[in-house]
Amino acid sequence: MYVDVVLPGIWWHPLTYAVSEPVEAGCRVVVPMGPRHGKRVGFVLATKENIEDEADYEIKEIIKVLDQTSVLSWELWSLSEWVSRQYLCSQGEILKLMCPSSITKGCEVTDINPSPQKPAHSFYSEECIYEIDDEERYKRYIDTIENVGSGLILFPEEAVAKSFWDRLPKEIQERALLWPSGGGKKTFDAWLRARRKEVSLVIGSVGVLFAPLAPIELVLIEEEASYSYTFVRYPYLSLRHIAAKRAQMWGSRLIFGGRIPSSRLYLLKRPQLKRNVRDQIQFANIRTSTKPILPRIIPELPISSMLLKNSLEVINRGEVVIWILDRKGYAGEISCEECGWTMTCPECGSFCRISQGETMCFFCGRKSEIPTVCPSCMSRLLVGRRPGIEALYEIARALVGDAAPTCKWYKEKSGKKLRASMLKELEHGGIIVGSRLSLSFCDDCPVGLVGWIDADAEARRPQYDARFAAFSMIWESRFRGKNTDKRKVIVQSRRPYRGWQKGLRLGWQLFWDEELKERYELNFPPFNLLIEMTGPSKVIEEVFSLLDKSGFAVYKPIADEAQLWIKTKEIKVLRELLEPYFHISRSKIGFPKARIWRD
């Protein structure tokens, strides 16, 4: 007798092992794998009496069966199969993401009852709640939650989920669970509580997605257009897409909410913006702005008189100002004015920026002293280009002096302790200079002004959705958190009021109507799937040739790079063609990886 076992590897197929008696699908087993008598924990896919083809290799026996019944419900098991097909990855990788690390390491699990069966009749429904006012939107969410028995409530950020939890009536909190952040024992305990039906509601950020709650009557996705719902590491899942599938599988009520809809939701549902937002965001022309002189930096960093004047007014009344510039360091690169030489990292060849009085590689993080002469022409005319957050911080400090605190906030300079310290320091007003992550302070302190130093740069990223990324961030800065009635947003731009920025004045309906026209003409999402494939050069060349011959729209943006792009609606056909490239026998050659954009 044999079993097919799914293991957390990049290959798509199960591995076959011998077993003395049948094992239920979904149970965990310990199997031999790898050199030096290695062991791995896997999930049984199926038991079979015989092997169809005569094996030309040794079939090893299972070492140990860990469970008597599946640790996952039928729904999560089926979901893992569906996700692997939709995202061109292995079921084993999805199971590893679904389960706490204790489960995949073989920890004992007891008192697990069989999960409820799939409902005989589906009452699946979809609705949208798009309100720019957080309080109004949350009130509607709470009214909905009070009338359902069980559900998953997803938020894009842990802090926002905690804020919503604090608003819930006590009677809801008593039957609900606020999902813990990170992993470890707390997450495992939360997973067990949900699996044992000790709670009926689970609320939290992206970690909630695979909570083993059953049955599910409601799935609510707050800020469904947020980029936080997309994994930044392989297998690059869209958590919103998967959450919607869970609602469909249970035949439950699915609610999409937020301040702004995603492209797919706007295309399918056409939600309406009910509140008049005309001229709630102001614009300043960079071309006519003041250009403070910064030592050895070109070009200068323009700051409009409108932004300077309003910043001082807000600080004087004891509120917080946020200046946003998504460029780290003091300058984005170092170059020679004489010969045009640009400093690159000797280790990896990437550009180096100036940060905290030294140079730092963008890619590998290698640090070194700032050069004083050009190694190409020996000129001393070295300058920093594209000023960043540290340069902007110097301008902010010069503006307020010692009258108010000036703080920095970006990914590398953040954390709970620093945040608590900054909030205390900003009790009576001040300036935060940082990246888009600074917008989280809108939830905790009275932000009276948000200034976007270079809005055009936000929309210049080489991605098809760059304009929406810029639009959604600026829109969020106007309506997120506390003090929104008094808050001003000033957008500095070289082309104010034009192009995608018109929607900031008149609403996201105008923005999406114009944006979707262009995406339709170019066959971009949501009208097609856009798939990026990377991997070993030889493998990518083979895949490119195969897909091109098979009639797929496939492109290589840079000839010598191991990267290609595919536009398609036929994900099933594409997976069938790619399957041979994901066999365990190709481990030494290497595997391609796919990233899929849906909207």
- Classify residue 380: in a domain, yes or no: yes
Could you tell me if 175 and 200 lie in one domain? yes
Instruction: Return d(Cα 213, Cα 175) in angstroms, integer.
Output: 13
Q: For 28-60, b where at least 16 C-beta lie within 10 A, e where not — what string?
A: bbbbebeeeeeebbbbbbebeeeeeeeeeeeee
Residues in the chain, pLDDT under 70 = 53-56, 113-117, 119-122
Contact predicate 439/475, CB 8 Å: no
pLDDT at 412: 78
* The pLDDT of residue 13: 93
Q: Check which CATH number belongs to the domain holding 28 and give it.
A: 3.40.1440.60
Best CA proximity match to 393, nearest among 453, 344, 466: 453
Do 225 and 288 reside in the same domain of the chain? no
CA dist 315 → 203, 248, 308, 429, 528 (Å): 36, 49, 11, 5, 47
Is 135 in the same domain as 59? no
* Alpha-carbon distances of 155 from 92, 141, 231, 256, rounded to whole Å: 26, 12, 14, 11
The residue segments making up the domain with residue 31 are 2-104
The last residue of a domain, from among 485, 517, 549: 517
The residues, any chain, with a CB within 8 Å of residue 149's CB and separated by 6 or more, are 200, 217
Provide the pLDDT for residue 113: 67
Q: Name the strand (E) or helix (H) holding 357.
A: none
- How far apart CA 81 and CA 97 sit, in angstroms, is 13
Q: Are residues 14 and 154 in the same domain?
A: no
At 215, which CATH number? 3.40.50.300
Shared domain for 214 and 339, answered yes or no, is: no
Whether 264 maps to a domain, the answer reads: no
- In angstroms, the CA 45 to CA 368 distance is 52
**Is residue 120 in a domain?**
no
Same domain, 487 and 541: no
In a domain, 275, yes or no: no
Domain boundary (49, 71, 104) is at: 104
In order of 77, 477, 596, the CA distances from 231 in angstroms are: 20, 23, 11
Q: Looking at residue 414, what is its pLDDT? A: 80
Domain-embedded: residue 535 = yes
Q: What is the CATH number of the domain that holds 558?
A: 3.30.70
Identify whether residues 512 and 533 lie together within a single domain: no
Residue 199 confidence (pLDDT): 95
Kindly report, residue by residue over 69-87, the tens digit of the pLDDT: 888 989 999 999 999 999 9
Regarding whether 469 and 337 lie in a shared domain, the answer is yes
**What size, in residues, is the chain?**
599
Q: Is residue 477 part of a domain?
A: yes
Which of 517, 538, 567 is where one domain is finished? 517
Among 93, 113, 127, residue whose Cα is nearest residue 218: 127
Same domain, 286 and 252: no
| CA 240/CA 11 separation, integer angstroms | 25
Q: What is the pLDDT of residue 408?
A: 93
Do 512 and 391 share a structural domain? yes
Residue carrying structure tokens 């810029």: 470
Total structural domains in the chain?
A: 4
Q: pLDDT tens digit string along 117-155? A: 676 666 899 999 999 999 999 999 999 999 999 999 999
Read off the pTM.
0.90
* Look-up of token digits 């309406």: 272
Q: Is 24 within the bounds of a domain? A: yes
Do 176 and 53 lie in one domain? The reply is no
Instruction: Say which residue the tokens 């690169």 belong to.
Output: 333
Q: Does residue 215 sit within a domain?
A: yes
| One domain for residues 237 and 324 | no
